[in-house]
Amino acid sequence: MGEQDRGVHADRIAVSYWDAHGNETVRHFAANLPDEEIPEVIDSPTSGLPAGRDKDNPPQLAKNEPYKTHLAYVKERRSEDEAKQILEDALTKLRERRGTSA
């Protein structure tokens, strides 16, 4: 006496996904599930890569951007001349508040 002897089983469909290494992963979904609710891409449990439903064109791993420091982001927004001017303005204001001149 097993699971198949108990109750009514819901109809289901099998959907295959392939990763960039050619590994196939099969996921089962309810047969009455609309197509737009079945994911186009999953994470392959074999390789950890994204796996898609098109065997000939599996999704590629997105390039990860390296961690950027706050200074790196500031340097993207400001030129060297702008940075020098902002620093000079800030130092001038600080000197005025302290009552010193340089």
Same domain for 75 and 48, yes or no, is: no
Domain count, the chain: 2
| Tens digit of each residue's pLDDT (9 = 90 or more) over 24-38 | 999 999 999 999 999
φ, ψ (nearest 5 deg) of residue 96:
-65, -40
Q: Which domain holds residue 83?
A: 64-101
- Tell me the whole-structure pTM to 2 decimals: 0.56
**Mean pLDDT, the chain, as a whole number?**
88
CA–CA separation, 35 and 54 (whole Å): 15
Checking if the pLDDT of 5 tops 70, the result is no
> By the 8 A CB rule, do 19 and 50 touch?
yes
Same domain for 46 and 19, yes or no, is: yes
| Tens digit of each residue's pLDDT (9 = 90 or more) over 51-102 | 999 999 999 887 778 888 998 888 889 998 998 999 999 999 999 999 886 5
Q: Which helix (H) or strand (E) holds 91?
A: helix 80-98
Same domain for 42 and 74, yes or no, is: no
Averaged pLDDT for residues 36-41:
94
CA–CA separation, 56 and 83 (whole Å): 50
Same domain for 44 and 74, yes or no, is: no
